[in-house]
Amino acid sequence: MSKEKKKYATVHYNNYLGLDQLLSAQKPKSAEVDQTPAHDEMLFIIVHQAYELWFKQVIHELTSVLDLFREKNIHPRSIGTAVSRLERVVEILNLLIQQIKIMETMTPLDFLDFRNYLFPASGFQSYQFRMVENLLGLEDDHRITYNGESYDAVFDNRKREKLKDAVDATSLFEAVENWLERTPFLSFGDFDFLDAYRHAVDRMSEKEQKAILESNYLTDKEKDMRLKMLNGTSTYFYHVLNREEHQKRQAEGNIRLNYEATIAALFIHLYRDEPILHLPFRLLVTLTEIDEMLTTWRYRHAQMVMRMIGNKIGTGGSSGHAYLHKTAEKHHIFKDLHAIATLLIPRSELPDLPPHLKQQLDFNFKHP
């Protein structure tokens, strides 16, 4: 007896997407007050509603990635899934940046036609965007305060509790840090990666110093300046690669990523061409891209506000452009992954990996 085929209920496009509710959710305030509504208020509403829909999707993706990384033992297949979903987040954030161009088709005078109806509403009251920040791992201590109050002061108790739950749970930053700590890139038996890397850095520095001193194109003043810059970079290498110095800088709040995770991230970046490291490298790069996209979005948002209202106070009572510009400068989450670039050296200077280690980092197929 054949199995009965599963029957699917029919669904209409309009009902499936909830278009009646969605398309009736645009209610310009100017239309409630004036006989002649402000034409561009519709654009303003739709753009911000689109932002919130995409924030919902970003939360959906980040939550799923966090579920993968909160497992005690992360399956290698999960890294590919995480990378794919985080790359989707990058594309969504890129789209949100592009949406600002649509908003900027509205002139300052067009905006002033309805701006007075928006008080005290503000984009700072976007609960979903705050949730995105918390899921990624933005620390409360690093937030620019909102009118001297906590960022969650504008929300009701239920939303404040949910935001707090997200803070108390493992963030994406913490989950990736824990994953990096567990990766087997810190101990390789008889191969001391850090020792080999330090020697490579010393050789590179000596070559750079020699090239500066022997240059026929640089003046003595320029040589002195370049040597000081080279010494500054060498000092940075020392602070990062020395466990005690790293932990000291971490305690001072200058860096956030712990020592083991930093060294693991460095190894992944340096030996990204090894097959096993392709996906881990893409994961780290994607996280820095998310940070970069958020910073770009904040900066573009600040520029748009300056264009629209100049130095006026924002509708929510903030300093407007000044507040947004400060968040673009300070609200970085994965800045320590960006800083790994400072520690990179040319491929030609990379310490050779022992054959047995290269075999472990390769895809090995044994034919019967």
Residue-wise DSSP of 59-126: HHHHHHHHHHHTSSS--HHHHHHHHHHHHHHHHHHHHHHHHHHHHTTS-HHHHHTTGGGSTT--GGG-
Question: Is residue 120 pLDDT above 80, yes or no?
Answer: no
Asked if residue 360 is part of any domain, the answer here is no
- More confident position, 176 or 188: 176
Average pLDDT over residues 266-281: 94
Q: Give the chain's mean pLDDT.
A: 87
- Cα–Cα dist 136/169, whole Å: 11
User: Is residue 325 very low, low, confident or very high in pLDDT (cuts 50, 70, 90)?
Assistant: confident
What percent of the chain lies above the pLDDT cut of 70? 93
109-123, 180-194, 249-263: least confident range? 180-194
By the 10 Å C-beta count (0-12 exposed, 13-18 middle, 19+ buried), 118 is classed as middle
- More confident position, 75 or 297: 297
Domain count, the chain: 1
Asked if residue 295 is part of any domain, the answer here is yes
Asked if residue 354 is part of any domain, the answer here is no
230-239, 261-270, 314-323: least confident range? 314-323
* pLDDT value of residue 192: 85
User: For residue 81, what is the domain's CATH number?
Assistant: 1.20.58.480
Asked if residue 227 is part of any domain, the answer here is no
- Token pair in block for residue 163: 């935001």
Asked if residue 54 is part of any domain, the answer here is yes
| Residue 285, domain extent | 37-188+257-341
What percent of the chain lies above the pLDDT cut of 90? 49
- Cα–Cα dist 81/279, whole Å: 10
Asked if residue 160 is part of any domain, the answer here is yes
pLDDT tens-place string over residues 221-249: 888 888 888 777 777 777 777 889 889 98
Question: Is residue 317 pLDDT above 60, yes or no?
Answer: no
Asked if residue 168 is part of any domain, the answer here is yes
Torsion 152-155-156-159 (CA) sign: negative
- More confident position, 176 or 362: 176
Q: Are 141 and 106 in contact (CB under 8 A)?
A: no
pTM over 0.95: no
41-68: burial string, b at 16+ Cβ within 10 Å, e else: bbbbbeeeeebeebbeebbebbeebbeb
